[in-house]
A and B are shown apart, each in its own frame.
Chain A
Amino acid sequence: MIAQLNLIERATLIAPNSVYLPWTNRVGRWFCWIVAVILFGWMCHNLELRFEVLVRGFTKLGVLTKAMFPPVANGAELKILQSLLVTFAMAVSGTVLGIMVALPLGIIGAKNVIRNSASHFVIRRTLDILRGVPVLVWALVMISAFGLGPIAGVIALALADFPHLAKQFAEAIENSDAKPSQGILASGGNRLEAMRLGLLPQVVPVMASQSLYTLESNFRNAAILGVVGAGGIGFELEERIRIFAFDQVAWIVVAYVMSVTLLDWISSQMRARLV
């Protein structure tokens, strides 16, 4: 008789609550789902996310996409490639600056380096707060301070990165094994030697890997900085979107995606060798 029932019915017969929860829990669950769906619908309503708006938008997007083919640069190939280069140079410089600021902060923010919990708390919380500022917001500030150009972008990238990096560096140091350093201290080494030979070999690969990861994300971040005027490829892109030159937009996007893919691949190869 049991063999005629399907899997779920059989399981329910043997152990009543193994497949489905008791009906009280199920009602509770359904209630939560219904509330969630209503909330979601309410948010969509607030954002004016309506069907006909989407249809109209996607139709227009289709027209724009058609205008993207074939992608051409209209004689601006060299200029675009040059600004791509500037973009990646911005990413590299911003990351390096960020690392230089993050390194000392990461070291003094690590619990096992400075055991004073008050300073640890202050440093970590400050970094937490700074991490909330998006890179584009920094860029707007830096452009007002330094004027238009890539230098504002470099400093914005560094400012956006160093809180993340400092936190990761501090965690890398905290997660390191204390035994090698203790061994060096026990066999007569001083604090500096314990750091150099006991701690560094453990944390440097981790830090380098995280820095490369930041560099990869900065290849993307640097591209958007140009949109607000901080130099690089984003500026060229924004200019062409504004005049609806979508065939050139497509050319830039393709060139950008290809070079980012290449750089990501190089960076991931380097990371794989590190760890």
Chain B
Amino acid sequence: MSKSVDQPTHLDRSSLSLEQIVEHFEADRSRALRRGRFVQLLQVLVITGLLGGAFQASGFFSSYLGDGAIGRIANFLTRLLPDLQPDRLFEDRTTSGSLMYWLYDLDLWLKLLAETVQIAIVATVLGAIFALPLSFLAARNLTPAVWIYWTVRRTSELVRTLPDIIVALILVAAFGLGPIPGVIALTLGTTASLTKLFAEANEAADMHQLEALQSSGGNWWQQLRFGLMPQVLPNLASYSLLRLEINVGGAAALGIVGAGGIGVELSRAITFTEFDTYFALLLLIVGLIFVLDLTSEAIRDRLIGAEKTA
């Protein structure tokens, strides 16, 4: 029994009774616990201090929100809601209180919404096209040389640290206002993140199938096409769809810096304090992303299902 207890080495166990051994053990245990508690307390104090510092630095405590901040937020929220009159709901856009008066520029908004989706789709497709060859270079099992693997991986990490909006901001200075800087910024971000995801899918692939093709005389391209692609394609498609969802949200936000899409109207509505318009645009964006999420979730489920049965 005494052997199973982890005793300090200085203790001569043979000369002690069972009670004494237990006593020593308890003393050691409580000492260890106290030390553990002390470290824990120290950790809690340090983290609390850091958090407090963070809240302080971000102006959480010191911000002057004005008198009756709650009332102002409530006031703001009521200004978000449109003024709809039930008896005039279906009048035309010149009648205040009607639906069309609230959604006064619906045609333009739907066009911009379509533009947002197109920016996202084009950027995702381009990003996936660029990422595919890069992912072979960035996969440890397929790369021709270690330094290529390393360079591609680090570059994609570096690009991923830069938010799309910042890139778009710089690109707007070069390309001018419009959807093109948005497309390029999103393509860049998509390429970087898909390169990583694709490369990881490639690394998880079963190499035996490529080896079988190689041993029966298949060249590099044939190995990839018939050995690797059937294994990873469902995964790659699933990742691309996930990225498409992210890009639609990104494209909606990009307009705020002037890079095309519905965001342009969003920032206009805010600058002209048309909060009910802002709310309408918000509903449109959220509705779009919601529908898109459901669609791509359904497609992804089918893709993963196809992969599992294959």
Contact = CB atoms under 8 A, between A and B. Distances in A.
A64 B161 contact: no
Contacts of B179: 47-49
B180 A227 contact: no
B123 to A, nearest CB: 10
Interface string A214-255: 000000110110011001001001100100100001000100
A69 to B, nearest CB: 14
Contact of A151 (B59, B169, B222, B287): B59
A44 B118 CA distance: 8
Given A54-B180, A253-B166, A257-B158, A137 B290 contact: no
Contact of B59 (A48, A88, A134, A150): A150
- Count chain B CB atoms within 10 A of each CB in A90, A151, A153 and give the residue with the most: A151
Contacts of B174: 57-58, 60-61, 64
A136 B54 CA distance: 21
A241 B165 CA distance: 13
Nearest to A50: B180
- For chain A, which range describes its interface: under 10, 10 to 19, 20 to 34, or 35 or more residues? 35 or more
A177 interface: no
B10 to A, nearest CB: 32
Interface in A120-146: 128-129, 131-137, 140-141, 143-146
A27 interface: no
B242 interface: no
Interface in B149-183: 157-158, 161-163, 165-166, 169-171, 173-176, 178-181, 183
- For chain B, which range describes its interface: under 10, 10 to 19, 20 to 34, or 35 or more residues? 35 or more
Contacts of A228: 256, 267
Given A145-B76, A253-B166, A48 B250 contact: no
B278 A141 contact: yes
Interface in A20-55: 40, 43-44, 46-49, 53-54
Given A47-B115, A134-B249, A140-B256, A223 B63 contact: no
A105 interface: no
A88 B274 CA distance: 32
Contact of A220 (B125, B161, B170, B289): B161
A93 interface: yes
A159 to B, nearest CB: 12
A154 B267 CA distance: 20
B273 A151 contact: no
A241 B180 contact: no
A92 B125 CA distance: 34
A228 B258 CA distance: 12
Interface string B58-72: 111001010001001
B101 interface: no
A5 to B, nearest CB: 10
B237 interface: no
B285 A227 contact: no
A227 B185 CA distance: 16
B263 to A, nearest CB: 8
B51 interface: yes
Nearest to A94: B58
A6 B249 contact: no
Contacts of B286: 129, 132-133
Contacts of A46: 115, 118
Interface string B38-61: 000000000000110111111110
B73 to A, nearest CB: 5
Contacts of A135: 253
Nearest to A54: B180
Nearest to B292: A132
B102 interface: no
A7 interface: yes
A134 B252 contact: yes
Nearest to A89: B57
Contacts of B125: 40
Given A64-B174, A145-B72, A47 B122 contact: yes
B173 A43 contact: no
A145 B285 CA distance: 21
A223 B166 contact: yes
A266 interface: no
Contacts of A47: 115, 118-119, 122, 179-180, 183, 260
Contacts of A143: 270
Nearest to B252: A134
Given A19-B226, A64-B170, A220-B163, A146 B119 contact: no
Nearest to A135: B253
7 contacts: A60-B174, A85-B57, A89-B55, A128-B290, A132-B288, A134-B253, A153-B58
Given A133-B286, A151-B65, 13 more contacts: A8-B222, A40-B125, A48-B180, A49-B179, A57-B176, A57-B180, A64-B174, A90-B58, A93-B58, A146-B65, A150-B57, A150-B63, A231-B58
Interface of A: 6-8, 19, 40, 43-44, 46-49, 53-54, 57-58, 60-61, 64, 85-86, 88-90, 92-94, 96, 128-129, 131-137, 140-141, 143-146, 149-151, 153-154, 220-221, 223-224, 227-228, 231, 234, 237-238, 241, 244, 249, 253, 256-257, 260-261, 264
